[in-house]
Amino acid sequence: MNRNSEQPIADQDVLVIDGRMGEGGGQVLRSSLSLSLCTGRSLRVEHIRARRRRPGLMRQHLACVRAAIEISGGRATGTKLGSSELGFSPGPVRAGDYRFAVGSAGSAALVLQTVLVPLLFADGVSTVRVEGGTHNAWAPPFDFLEQSFMPLLAQMGARVELQLERVGFYPAGGGAITAKIYPVKLGANPPQALSLLERGEEGRHHVMIRRAHLSADIADREWFAVRDRLHWGPALRRDNDHAESSGPGNSVHITLNFGNVTEVASSFGAKNRNAKTVGDQAAKEASRYLHSSAPVGVHLADQLLLPMAFLAGGEFRTLKPSRHLVTNKDVINTFLPGCIQLKELDRELWEISCTASAI
């Protein structure tokens, strides 16, 4: 942290966030930091990650705090491993060339997620390089960001160029993602409301299997598991062998292409986890999506809320919201009352609407 980061933060107009809300994990902290940066509102997060087996700040969460401080010249208190309370007061978000290291296999995507929307409203183009895990469980992998999330961000009027520099699997990490973020004020057109109520015409699906320092027959067994569960013959398979990765690892990404949206279902290899199980898990997630009428999958729905809140709003239909999404909605509505609304259409189809907040 910089020398000014631990200065006390005045209590006046500080928004208090209870880290126990909803699923009680790191998303509460990350979304709160993003919202603080976008609104200029100081905050105090209490009971950080209280519902996790190891509560408090871990390395990847501290990397998010460092990133928020650096892009805004902000101040923070409670910035140490294991801390259960954090105070943060942002300054104006500044464009720049930034480099953040998680210091573990913690997700690079989650650090990027913290600063992405605020930097869309900075005073110039920014480059953000984040080092850490790029393909690990419980976080959006690069394939999802590139193929599912970024096209919809572009549809809303945001321009972000994403690059996978090096793959980082758990537990070694060592990967890197770079994002070039253009401010929306430099765009040729104003931000557009997102309306995603139908999938559109079904296209050609494919499966990407990534592996590093593992035998090729693992990819074969994962592909057979996907093919057998989804009854696929003509689907395209693509394999990548990442010999430059810092450690061994493996992931399966099933990309489902439709006219209006692309969904990516992922699963990750782990020690003592057989290849058939890895392939089958990704296929189960893909099957749930394919057997519904929802255009937006569970994980994509969660990712869309913050950019919609500050670009131009809109609405989309999705599968039954996860607890993670509901928690994210509650955090956003704490900063921006009434911004996100959920409506159940039937058991597996919900409509989410968002009223954008001007920055």
CB atoms within 10 A of CB 342: 14
Strands (E), the chain: 15-18, 43-46, 75-77, 85-89, 97-101, 126-132, 159-166, 175-182, 194-196, 206-212, 236-241, 249-257, 262-268, 314-318, 340-346, 349-354
Alpha carbon distance 108, 140 (integer Å): 9
231 CB-contact burial (10 Å; exposed 0-12 / middle 13-18 / buried 19+): exposed
Please identify which of the residues 47, 206, 213, 324 carries the catalytic annotation. Answer: 324
The DSSP secondary-structure symbol of 350 reads: E
Tracing tokens 């992922």 back to the chain, one arrives at 266
Q: What whole-number distance in Å separates Cα of residue 98 and Cα of residue 73?
A: 13
Burial zone of 75 (CB within 10 Å; 0-12 exposed, 13-18 middle, 19+ buried): buried
Q: How far is CA 83 from CA 197, 223, 293, 295, in A?
A: 42, 43, 43, 39
| 183 prior amide bond cis, ω within 30 | no
- The size of the chain, in residues, is 359
- Strand order across the beta sheet in which 314-318 lies: 194-196, 314-318, 349-354, 340-346
* Residues 6+ positions from 206 with CB-CB distance below 8 Å: 235, 236, 237, 238, 254, 255, 257
Report residue 294 as tokens.
Answer: 């929802």
Tell me whether residue 242 is one of the annotated catalytic residues.
no
Contact of 36 with 88, CB cutoff 8 Å: yes
Determine the longest span between alpha carbons in the chain, in angstroms: 62
264 burial type by CB count under 10 A (0-12 exposed, 13-18 middle, 19+ buried):
buried
> For residues 160 and 180, is the Cβ–Cβ distance under 8 A?
yes
Residues with a known catalytic role: 324
